[in-house]
Structure 1
């Protein structure tokens, strides 16, 4: 977005950048018409020229706007402004589910079930509108302070009547949560979302994803080939009925999974009922994978359903040996090329190391841990955090466990401490509010407009804007707050009131904020004869104790 643009569509006032994704930036903004805080996602200029990216962006708006569910982020507005494509949505105060898992590790069973019931209910509603999300992961789930979860980012969601966005059925979505049939490039069905929900449930209960790898392809192959780990091996206290939900949701064969999200939701709601607690562990007869091919930009597999039989004729072993040796040589060459170019990375070799976990560590300790892992290029940026103590690391630009070049720069985002809560300052004296900001060591720019108020002491704040009560700000950022402050009206008593009808003269002075009393000194025309103070005098209306007296005929 053009940095000079502060108002989008003559309505949305940009307040701050709150997130960046692969194709768009997300800002906190204020809807100046409805006077509410919103989130506005703006497609980057460089992406607007890419038809596929634009379709993804428009699809997100279309898919999410068709839904109205308490666990789906509401879409308020969609449009284009000066060549910028934007989506205006509900602003959620909180954090992502991924951030919560990183900070807390495994989540309590009852809290995990509550989160899963909300998510599955939202996906059930999406499926009822023929919308398949296709990218369910904790990074796309926002958690409010009251525990309500909101699913977002329908950027690769598809409806039953939409074409695929990928070329040659290339894999989209996140590898850790990818259904096996998605890796094969098959057409998406509701079962791909059910599989992802099962992976998320496993991660909530264990604090980690079931399949790890250095590349998306390696992880996808594990989804295809390796059996799902048992969550009860991690925590035997978890009931078998709960583990069965994960096993059924993540079955390799889509036909073995829940037929729809409603059935999964029922099991989530009833798995702790006494009659379900002592079930047998579910098992599925998954077919073995005979071949995995990653040479076409996606994963292709073949399942071996044929019975084993003996060869019917003599093999030419010399030919087989020659072909095998050639294949091994070619494989070694390709592997070495991938290794040298960085496509395949091994920790401790060719300048690559495993990124350590330094989140929620003191800066000095984090730097020491990075240097111990040979990461000597790092820099620090600071931002406020209501959940991480001042001077501790909030996050890094690489995830823990990533294999990263030691020549790359690691960015440590360090907590500046909590944000500052803006209160309702109306009715308070401006001087007292300024002192409060100074005592709290908050850098706030105060703009003041004065308004005549004859019935209010001077210096009282009548109105506040730009920062509203409930807003949280960076105390060092120097944000601007505007106050309208009372003052006593001061006028010069006009000469023209002499000879004017006393009623009209009184109204003239009242309109200037002046209190007026009248006293008749004659029995004639009702015209003003003189005043006290006299005309031409400077008069300040100081509350109800001072008045201008009009003497009339």
Structure 2
């Protein structure tokens, strides 16, 4: 990638990567501001489906204007690779927030949810279903403002489904049951995902966990939703009810619109709702089976006697006809059983999350094969050797003897941990298997932390998912011994000077100057309780080492000598007498 794109966007650093695109922090040379530039990965530039999805994201996000949706500024092309220029949000994801702090306080969780639901409501009213709502796509600024991002798999109501698998795209931990079944995503699928996000914010945990994505998806489909009150009985009942209603398995019992959920959130901390009755859906039973009573109104006398007295010859004819029909039926049945059947059509099963070896065995049973030219990529969810995509997609009818192409996981994307409190040596050990991460250090003065301990990190933020095959720079902020440029304390009160230095972590020694041998006139001219001299002197560079200190010298009024004034008075009287 060129350092300056289209003579406008100066690339500063890589700040993220995903399955389809890389994201860079850039500086807009025209409008003089930082922006985020999202560029389609080079290996997908010739993929028409990826191009269309990328274009769809640009169209979806650029058409939405809401204070809680990341704003799109520009779209363009860099050496054949399309890009989107977006608002750069300084903050962390909601996922990182929960990772650092665990369950959020109820007012903070509610604030995030109201902003999120408001943004999603705006998208729904514009006819757009997000389809990938998760804490990783929710950015939280330092002032608490929420921004929802990544409309990469969003779908407009009138948009063409790119592939059948689109209906089950999205992160499995937030996937609605109907999407697990392969039904199309709807407004209520987004509502389900927001319910799961609310669950995670106020409990610090996910409702369903499993060894594989398939296991998690099946729990969304079949397992009852755990109550947040089991995690913390102090959670308001209104919160529990909102999550229960948003996360119903059957979407007919969920909120119909995001507006309904927003209104419920807006009153959730009203005093009368804190301990409200727990909500349960009013299940609609199927129509019960009805017995059909015997037909009334037909009397035996209404039957024609001629029918009863029907001649034998007519009965015989009926019997012969019945026999003929039975024989014909038997012949047809035998023909159906023994006539060679055409092979049943085969529809490609969902192989995402299946190991490549198992997939080959499954397909071989249907005379279908995997092309030897495999594609590889890193995955957020699947370990090395597991399929993360197929072409064609699942549900496509395939002729026997055909081949399909698959993309196989090279391994999981690496989630950057929080290195605060560790040493550089410990970080090097953690990152030993990630040679593409270059570690740099910068010392910062912090008197509250032991020297050599990491107090922060730059370049790679906590919780960021990175591709281990790409190069990154991680800067560790390491606590050092306190260091200052010595200011001039002379003339300042000794207590004030001492406190200023000690607050900076500097060791201070006080030196009480002697007044022995001074005349009364000299003593009376002294300043008491202020700094007279200091070592080191003002302007010098000082580092607080184990055995070093700053010396402040002063005259203490308690040491002031007394002078005999009576002898002086007597001598004056003598002189006057003479």
TM-score range, shorter chain: 0.5 to 0.7
Q: Report the counterpart of residue 425 of structure 1 in structure 2.
A: none
1:238 aligns with 235
- Kindly indicate whether structure 1 or structure 2 has the higher relative contact order, using CA contacts under 8 Å at least 6 residues apart: 2
Q: Which residue of 2 aligns with 1:86?
A: 83
Q: Which residue of 1 aligns with 2:350?
A: 296
Aligned to 1:270: 267
Check whether the contact 2:167–2:184 (CA below 8 A) recurs between aligned residues.
no
Report the Cα offset of residue 369 of structure 1.
13
Corresponding residue number in structure 2 for 1:152: 149
Deviation at 1:381, TM superposition (A): 3.9
Q: Which residue of 1 aligns with 2:69?
A: 72
> Structure 1 residues 390 and 193, CA, compared in 2 at 3 Å: closer, same or farther?
closer
Tell me, yes or no, if the aligned pair for 2:36 and 2:85 is still in contact at 8 Å.
Answer: yes
- The reply to whether residue 382 of structure 1 matches residue 439 of structure 2 is yes
Q: How far, CA to CA, are the matches of 2:352 and 2:417 in structure 1?
A: 33
Task: Report which stretch shifted further, 7-16 or 390-399.
Answer: 390-399
Q: What residue is the counterpart of 1:23 in the other structure?
A: 20
Give, in whole Å, the separation in 2 of the partners of 1:418 and 1:72: 35
Cα pair 1:18 1:26 within 8 Å, conserved = yes
- Decide whether aligned partners of structure 1 residues 366 and 212 sit closer, same or farther in structure 2, where only a CA change above 3 A counts: farther
Match of 2:221 among 198, 220, 224: 224
CA–CA distance in structure 2, aligned partners of residues 61 and 152 of structure 1: 11
For the residue of structure 2 that corresponds to 1:259, the secondary structure is coil
Task: Give 1:169 deviation, angstroms.
Answer: 5.5
CA contact (8 A) 2:16 2:464 kept: no
Q: Deviations over 1:175-232 (max 9, x none)?
A: 0000010111111110010000000000000111111112211110010111111101
Query: Residues 391 and 268 (structure 1 numbering): CA distance in 2 closer, same or farther, change over 3 Å?
Result: closer
Alignment of 1:44-443 (within 5 A): 44-167=41-164, 171-284=168-281, 295-297=349-351, 343=386, 359-360=418-419, 362-363=421-422, 367=426, 377=433, 381-382=438-439, 389-390=455-456, 395=462, 416-417=476-477
**Corresponding residue for 2:448?**
none
- Give the Cα–Cα distance (whole angstroms) in 2 for the partners of residues 266 and 63 of structure 1: 25
State the Cα deviation string for residues 337-386 of structure 1 (Å, max 9, x = none): xx999659xxxxxxx99x99964465469959989xxx984656436899
Q: Distance in 1 between matches of 2:74 and 2:415?
A: 41
- Alignment partner of 1:150: what SS? strand
Q: What value does the CA root-mean-square deviation take over the aligned residues?
A: 3.9
**Kept after mapping to 2: 8 A contact 1:117/1:265:** yes
How far, CA to CA, are the matches of 1:72 and 1:276 in structure 2?
30
TM-score (norm 1): 0.57
Residue deviations 1:132-157, cap 9 Å, x none? 00000011111111110100000000
8 Å contact from structure 1 (residues 135, 174) kept in 2: yes
Structure 1 residue 35: Cα displacement: 1.6
Q: Which has the larger radius of gyration?
A: 2
Question: Is the 2:168–2:185 contact (alpha carbons within 8 Å) kept by the matching residues of 1?
Answer: no
Distance 1:368 1:226, change over 3 A: same
Is the 2:96–2:462 contact (alpha carbons within 8 Å) kept by the matching residues of 1? no
Change beyond 3 A, Cα 1:29–1:195: same
CA distance in 2, matches of 1:81, 1:369: 36
Is contact 1:29-1:38 (8 Å) kept? yes
- Return the TM-score normalized by structure 2: 0.55
Spell out the pairing of 1:529-544 with structure 2 (5 A cutoff). Answer: none
Using the alignment, how far apart are the partners of 2:272 and 2:77 within structure 1? Answer: 55
- Go from structure 1 to structure 2 and tell me whether the alpha carbon gap of 1:104 and 1:294 turns closer, same or farther (over 3 Å shift): farther
Alignment gaps of 5+ in structure 1? 300-329, 331-338, 345-351, 400-407, 420-553
- SS, match of residue 417 in structure 1: strand
For the residues of structure 2 that align with 1:49 and 1:224, how far apart are their CA atoms? Answer: 36
> Is the contact made by 1:394 and 1:415 (CA closer than 8 Å) also made in structure 2?
no
Q: Distance in 2 between matches of 1:228 and 1:133?
A: 23
Alignment match, 2:29: 32
The residue number in structure 2 matching 1:9 is 6
Q: Is the 8 A contact 1:253 1:286 kept in 2?
A: no
Give the Å deviation of 1:294. Answer: 11
| Deviation readout 1:68-90 (Å, 9 max, x if unpaired) | 00000000111223312010111
Q: Is the 8 A contact 1:395 1:412 kept in 2?
A: no
Partner of 2:540: none
Distance 2:348 2:114 in 1: 36
Aligned length: 353
* Counterpart secondary structure, 1:220: helix
Please state how far the C-alpha of 1:412 moved relative to its aligned partner.
11
Cα separation, 1, equivalents of 2:75 and 2:46:
18
- Name the CA distance, whole Å, in 2 between partners of 1:281 and 1:366: 51
